[in-house]
Amino acid sequence: MSVGESVARKDGPDKVRGRTRFVDDYQPEGCWFGATVRSAIPHGRIRQIRFPSEIPWDRFVVVGAGDIPGRNCVPFLTEDLVLLADGYVRHVNEPILLIAGPDREAVHEAARAVEIEYEPLPAILTLDEAMAAGSTEGCAVPRPISIVRGDLDEGFAQADLVVEGTYEVGHQEHVYLETNGFIAWWEPDGQVAVRGSLQCPYYVQRALKMVFDLPDDKVRVIAAPTGGAFGGKEDFPSMLACHAALLSRAAGRPVKVVYDRREDFTSTTKRHPARVHYRTGVRKDGTFTACSVEFALDGGAYITMSPVVLSRGVIHASGPYYYPAIEVRGRCYATHTPPNGAFRGFGVPQAFFGIERHVDRIAARLGLDPLEVRRRNLLKQGMRTATGQLLKEGVSAAEVLADAVARSGYEEARRKPRLQDGVLHGVGIGLYMHGAGFTGSGEARLKSLVGMRLTPDGRVEILTASTDMGQGTLTVFPQIAARAMNVDFDRVFVAEPDTGRVPDSGPTVASRTVTIVGRVVQQLGEDLAARIRAFAAEQFGGDQEDYALSGDSVVRNSSGEPVASLAEVASRMHEAWGDVYLERGYRLNPEIRWDEARHEGDAYPVFAWGCVVVEVTVDPDTLEIHPVRVTASHDIGTVVNPTLAAGQIEGGIAQSIGYGLFEEVHWNAGEMLNPGFTNYIIPTTVDLPDMDVGFVENPFSDGPFGAKGVGELPMHGAAPALANAVAHATGIEVDQLPVTPERLLAARLEQEQRDTWEALGARGGAETRGGTK
Amino acid sequence: MKVAFTINGRPHDLDVPGARRLLDVLREDLGLTGTKEGCGEGECGACSVLVDGEVVNACLIPVAQVQGADIVTVEGLEAAGGKPLQDAFVQLGAAQCGACTPGMLMAAYAYYQACARTGEDPLDRDRIRAALAGNLCRCTGYQKIIDAVWTGCEALRR
Amino acid sequence: MNRPLAEIEFFTPATLNEALALRDAERSRALPIAGGTDLMVLQRSGGLGAPRAFLSLWGVEDLRGITLRENRIEIGATTTFAQIGRSPEIDRHVTALGEAARRVGAVQIQNRATIGGNIVNGSPAGDSLPVLAVVNATLVLASKARGLRKVPFEAFFTGYRQTVLQDDELLVRIEIPLPPADTWTGFEKVGSRRAQTISKVMAALRVRLEGDKIADVAFACGSVAPTVIRLPRTEARLLGRPLSEHLADEVADTLNREIVPIDDLRSTAAYRRFVSVGLLRRLLRRCAQASG
């Protein structure tokens, strides 16, 4: 079965029978449960810790910073993140102590009972406060990032109008249905092993090595089937794995730490809140002459992924549009809140809420249709992006826009009266792109290694560190390999991501799994097929070119006549060589040039493009907003598996609709007030319409069979499209997410007040000025 | 406390605290880990099981209250006749990460049974959506789940 | 401090008399529990104050069922919202209650949540409460010592989650008089999303018309005060007027003086005020459409 076919996912049958075992489905013999004692204040020193006598402490083990054999650090881009607070806390719910015991309810009871006395220090709790303070307090804030291109003064001078807007987005929680969890145990030879819900086995290995001061071969990380992640299991698992391992070491037995929903909400990473300010010079015909962007992120209390989130946000801040002159300045601030981390899109959804709302604002000021303003400014092949990257590969901005608009009935919806059947109607567009893979030379630095093994019975095993969190790695990699080798899909399978067996193909992030790692899978498949053909030549005579693989056999190339089964040939190869295992690394296109310091050059190997059109109704009695029609068009290059790809698009759009309409984290003194599904709202089945999802295929020359990345792309457009549709329906512009009925009402009252004052001012002004201008 | 009930056709006789959650009895005492805990508050539906033919959240049920009841979990769905639904989920891409899948299937099967009882036609996308509104999914956007329930119900009817 | 579920004793009476005897013996030591959709959540969050025992009413079949009498309809306290939502008698005689039942949570919750639990739990966001407030419901309480005691619905709540239920009493059934002909009832709810949501505002309306004039009216709101409330001054202004959705705007100022909404996690006072008027408008419009 080939690339381009909607093969049913390999792990589907187990999933629909409840046979798939997630972390909490394992209960090893004698395994204890772990719980975490966390900070109650956002910033301060720990004065005293008391263990009340009602708890039988001799039945538990308790672990603190002093029990860490290596470094008290969870390494990412920097080494500022502390594994366990050591006398000093930087955010509410920062881990301080760990407790393990035989009964799950009892160990959480014990954790709640611990009494901690603090000496509070002043805390910075919001982006506003941080920007006002220029917050560099405590952890050093990553340096600002700037992109400059063209002559801004000249650009603004040519503008007929300058349009400004400020757009704000808050935290977003991933809400994977399976919470974070790990099981840790120690082998007799001193090796620590963990099994967890995670995206990046080798990130976790790196952390364990540092915390326990162990070499590679003494640290084993196994990725369990992961029940959703969306970036929320990119960085956080490194901390949780080390916690579980510390407890296991102290208890002398396996320990399982699984967060309940409340703890997962309050204590793990979220999307960075952002404030984005656009200042755009435009001509009367809607074309852009210049743009200046200020991009501010709230990183929380530790740096974690912030420098890269900032970088990606800044690079994408210009959107799918061409500007003769553009400047983007980005800065990440620190606050005394739980550190924010990776979340699908990674700075880009924040930027696109700004960009796409701003385009509609520009259109409104000019009296043009927002579709028209987009059309007149699109990036095209041969143009350069804000970082100066020459767009050599197909640029599909115009195509996806046209396709989505055509299928959505947009133009008809724009022309119809706003009020129909007692309900207000509106339609809005989101147009976007996403650069797949690590930024710049990141993929060259990663040197992703993939392994491929021919088993003695002639099946093909793919060994990578890429995990399957629902997106279909276990299915798509075999499709690619099967096509590359021309063997049956059913003969190809993916090894469990276990650092004891698989090489480091890099993290399962950045929309890189298919387009980067999958590329190596394709190349390795071709290599392995060549080896098999060469061996066949040795065994059966002739040259390598005389043979081919087909289905489950080796055949004569000229006639297609089978020579031997793959199983037979594999068995002979194993006899001759002992094992048949190949490895290959990803080779980044050497033409890619990136200057990290100036953020200039080729940011990504290729961009994927998308457009979503959302139609909403707004109920005049309640201002309830409901998406009634969603139409999307995406260019992700060659679509390896249409059903799985459409599933990614539909899921990403749904997550963006949640971001746009419902999802909001409420805070009080640095603590999350709504850590549950009752008050952190994600869409249910009845909150979403059917979605019409289509693809425009513009193959990527360096992707496996032309595939680009898809994971994050669909996150970017629906939220701004919703806000734009609401503005169309009601005439009210809301520049903050989520666009709730409450915000809509408040914005309308504000607008009415402004109009009233303007009207009064105009009358009064004429009187006092006595008619002069 | 002695509690006796049937799970997936098999009788069970347990001695457990009466207030213990049915979800914990299933997962921890009986090793039936197919039913998942997504929130512990009855908000996400990942723990949905059938009790006497009705779909309920196992995280909210004290086990003493299922005395004498007939319980079906995802492990018993095939034997109970739900295979066409499961097959549709696999074929149409309705399962991505799989964490919501057992609960979704139980709610879908309960929907089909309810329609069979009342004579209502199950092949209605809006009614399917309403029947699954207590099951949260974060991966799929629900699109292919609705498709699969529709297709599964159609197959069940034949 | 939380008492772990394993340490909570669990009583499972089979009949009402057994239940009343246990209630009399245990009093506040044993918390009555029906479907558990509220209490099991509260127990987990530590909001129950460590009860020593649960007194389960779920298995008491005497307490379940809907019975149509000559001049009233009786609903057993442990009747589930699923049963209420499916009931042809409810649909015919107390339509708004069926509407409310079908808006509770989602299917899984409706199959377990009981009307009795909804009432005794006393949340101002209880979905059935605005409807019960407008249909002159009577609550029938029972104790071993004193037998049956009937309390009009409007006298049951004394404050935020405070009721007149004594610690030896159980709620056994709800009695709703069959309304006169030409009576229309309706229920509306606005939450954060379309399903599985706690209300930001709810409203129930009962109207009897004579010609096109409102001859009899009751209007109640939930989630805009510490308890569910009737709005008598608003009702007075609607009485005698020709039925029209525009009445909502006319009486909006009076309506807004009768409710005391707050800002909270879910919504704002300003929005709740706006929507309260909006829901009255919707209900009046639906009533007008129903009367043709």
CA-based nearest residue in chain A for residue B143: A690
How many CA atoms lie less than 13 Å away from B17 in the CB half-sphere?
Answer: 14
Q: Count Cβ–Cβ pairs < 8 Å, chain A vs chain B.
A: 168
pLDDT for A137 beyond 70: no
CB burial of A257-281 (b: ≥16 within 10 Å; e: otherwise) equals bbbbbbbbbbbbbbbbbbbbbbbbb
Residue in the structure block whose two tokens are 């979340």: A343
Residue in the structure block whose two tokens are 């003064």: A153
Cα A461 from Cα A456, distance rounded (Å) = 11
pLDDT in tens, A79-116: 999 999 999 999 999 999 999 999 999 999 999 999 99
Interface test with B, best of A11, A16, A230 (most B CBs within 10 A): A16
Interface test with A, best of B43, B77, B143, B146 (most A CBs within 10 A): B143
Q: What φ, ψ does residue A488 adopt, rounded to 5°?
A: -65, 135
Closest C-alpha among A134, A625, A156 to residue A331 = A134
What's the CATH class of domain B2-75? Answer: alpha beta
pLDDT (mean) for B121-142:
98
In chain B, residues 79-138 whose CB comes closer than 8 Å to chain A = 86-87, 89-93, 95-102, 105, 125, 128-130, 132-138
B56 touches C: beta carbon within 8 Å: yes
| Set of chain A residues whose Cβ sits within 8 Å of the Cβ of B88 | none
| Set of chain A residues whose Cβ sits within 8 Å of the Cβ of B143 | 646-647, 650, 690-691, 693
Distance from CA of C230 to the nearest CA of A (A): 21
Interface test with A, best of C8, C274, C286 (most A CBs within 10 A): C274
The pLDDT value recorded for residue C1 is 57
**Structural domain boundaries of chain B?**
2-75, 76-157
Which amino acid type is present at position A322? Y
- E strand or H helix at A290, and its extent? strand A288-298
pLDDT for A597 beyond 60: yes
Distance from CA of B54 to the nearest CA of C (A): 7
CA-based nearest residue in chain A for residue C277: A621
Residue A234 CA, chain-centre distance (Å), reads 9
Residue in the structure block whose two tokens are 């959505």: A408
Cα A468 from Cα A43, distance rounded (Å) = 37
Interface test with C, best of A114, A622, A625 (most C CBs within 10 A): A622
| Set of chain B residues whose Cβ sits within 8 Å of the Cβ of C59 | 65, 67
The pLDDT value recorded for residue C45 is 86
Cβ distance A674 to C265 less than 8 Å, yes or no, reads: yes
Closest C-alpha among A143, A130, A167 to residue A293 = A167
Q: Which chains have at least 3 CB atom pairs separated by less than 8 Å from chain A? A: B, C
Q: Does domain C6-56 have CATH number 3.30.450.80?
A: no
The pLDDT value recorded for residue B28 is 96
Q: Count Cβ–Cβ pairs < 8 Å, chain A vs chain C.
A: 65
In three-state secondary structure terms, C145 is coil
CA distances from A403 to A435, A481, A645, A699, B48 (A): 21, 31, 17, 17, 40
Cβ distance C9 to B18 less than 8 Å, yes or no, reads: yes
pLDDT above 90: percentage of residues in chain A: 94
CA-based nearest residue in chain A for residue C188: A622
pLDDT in tens, A251-306: 999 999 999 999 999 999 999 999 999 999 999 999 999 999 999 999 999 999 99
pLDDT above 90: percentage of residues in chain C: 93
Residue of B18, B21, B41 with shortest CB distance to C12: B18
In three-state secondary structure terms, C206 is strand
Q: What is the pLDDT along chain C (292 residues), one digit of tens a residue?
A: 578 888 899 999 999 999 999 999 999 999 999 999 999 999 988 888 888 999 999 999 999 999 999 999 999 999 999 999 999 999 999 999 999 999 999 999 999 999 999 999 999 999 999 999 999 999 999 999 999 999 999 999 999 999 999 999 999 999 999 999 889 999 999 999 999 999 999 999 999 999 999 999 999 999 999 999 999 999 999 999 999 999 999 999 999 999 999 999 999 999 999 999 999 999 999 999 998 7
Q: What is the CA radius of gyration of chain A?
A: 28
Distance from CA of B13 to the nearest CA of A (A): 22
| Set of chain B residues whose Cβ sits within 8 Å of the Cβ of A12 | 89-90, 95
Cα B9 from Cα B29, distance rounded (Å) = 17
| Set of chain A residues whose Cβ sits within 8 Å of the Cβ of C197 | 681
Residue of B41, B74, B146 with shortest CB distance to A677: B41
Tokens of B128: 């399917």
In chain C, residues 1-20 whose CB comes closer than 8 Å to chain A = 1-2, 4-6
Strands A581-585 and A594-595: unpaired
In three-state secondary structure terms, A447 is coil
CA distances from A190 to A67, A219, A247, B76 (A): 17, 9, 15, 42
| Set of chain A residues whose Cβ sits within 8 Å of the Cβ of C274 | 623, 745
Tokens of B73: 């979990």
CA-based nearest residue in chain A for residue C268: A742
Crossing angle of helices A348-366/A306-316, nearest 10°? 30
- Kindly report the average pLDDT of chain A as a whole number: 95
Per-residue HEC secondary structure of chain B comes to CEEEEEECCEEEEEECCCCCEHHHHHHHHCCCCCCCCCCCCCCCCCCEEEECCEEEEHHHCEHHHHCCCEEECHHHCHHHHHHHHHHHHHHCCCCCCCCCHHHHHHHHHHHHHHHHHHCCCCCCHHHHHHHCCCCCCCCCCCHHHHHHHHHHHHHHHC
Tokens of A266: 């309050």
Distance from CA of B24 to the nearest CA of A (A): 11
Closest C-alpha among C142, C246, C251, C125 to residue C190 = C125
Q: What is the DSSP secondary-structure string of A329-344?
A: EEEEE--SSPPP---T
- E strand or H helix at A718, and its extent? helix A718-730
Residue of B90, B97, B143 with shortest CB distance to A177: B97
| Set of chain B residues whose Cβ sits within 8 Å of the Cβ of C108 | 42, 45, 48, 55-57, 107, 134
Cβ distance C108 to B41 less than 8 Å, yes or no, reads: no
Closest C-alpha among A692, A709, A711 to residue A700 = A709
The pLDDT value recorded for residue C175 is 98
Cα A574 from Cα A458, distance rounded (Å) = 10
pLDDT in tens, A483-519: 999 999 999 999 999 999 999 999 999 999 999 999 9
CA distances from A477 to A494, A497, A646, A731 (A): 7, 13, 17, 48
Residue of B18, B40, B107 with shortest CB distance to C107: B107
* CATH architecture of the domain covering C183-290: 2-Layer Sandwich (3.30)
CA-based nearest residue in chain A for residue B86: A16
Q: Count Cβ–Cβ pairs < 8 Å, chain B vs chain C.
A: 92
Residue in the structure block whose two tokens are 């120690």: A186
Burial of A584 (0-12, 13-18, 19+ CB in 10 A): buried
The pLDDT-based confidence of A142 (bands split at 50, 70, 90) is: low
| Set of chain B residues whose Cβ sits within 8 Å of the Cβ of A686 | 129-130, 133
The pLDDT value recorded for residue A761 is 81
Residue of C6, C44, C58 with shortest CB distance to B20: C6
Distance from CA of C148 to the nearest CA of A (A): 37
Which one of 1.10.150.120, 1.10.10.10, 3.40.350.10, 3.40.50.920 gives the CATH number of domain B76-157? 1.10.150.120
The pLDDT value recorded for residue A141 is 65
The pLDDT value recorded for residue A206 is 98
Cβ distance B142 to A685 less than 8 Å, yes or no, reads: yes
How many CA atoms lie less than 13 Å away from C50 in the CB half-sphere?
Answer: 6
CA distances from C61 to A369, A456, A770 (A): 64, 64, 84
- E strand or H helix at C39, and its extent? helix C39-45
Which one of 3.40.50.1820, 3.10.450.50, 3.30.465.10, 3.90.1200.10 gives the CATH number of domain C61-177? 3.30.465.10
- Interface confidence, given as ipTM, is 0.98
Q: What is the dihedral of CA C2, C6, C7, C12, to 10 degrees?
A: 120
Q: Which residues pair with A194 in a beta bridge?
A: A184, A221
Interface test with C, best of B1, B14, B57, B132 (most C CBs within 10 A): B57
B60 touches A: beta carbon within 8 Å: no
- The dihedral region occupied by A157, where left means phi > 0, alpha psi between -120 and 50, and beta the remainder, is alpha
pLDDT for A444 beyond 50: yes
pLDDT for A455 beyond 90: yes
Distance from CA of C28 to the nearest CA of B (A): 17
| Set of chain A residues whose Cβ sits within 8 Å of the Cβ of B144 | 643, 646-647, 650
Quote the Cα angle for C73-C77-C81, to 5°: 85
- Put simply, whether the predicted model's pTM sits higher than 0.95 gets the answer yes
The pLDDT value recorded for residue A766 is 46
Interface of A with C (CB under 8 A): 105-106, 109, 112-113, 619-624, 626, 662, 666, 673-674, 678-679, 681, 683-687, 741-742, 745-746, 749
Cα A733 from Cα A359, distance rounded (Å) = 12
Cβ distance B78 to A17 less than 8 Å, yes or no, reads: yes
Same-fold call for B2-75 versus B76-157: no
Domains and CATH numbers, chain A: 12-122+180-258 (3.90.1170.50), 274-439+596-739 (3.30.365.10), 442-585 (3.30.365.10)
**Structural domain boundaries of chain C?**
6-56, 61-177, 183-290
B58 touches C: beta carbon within 8 Å: no
Cβ distance A742 to C268 less than 8 Å, yes or no, reads: yes
What percent of the residues of chain A are helix, what percent strand, and what percent coil, each to the nearest 5?
35, 25, 40
pLDDT for A134 beyond 80: no
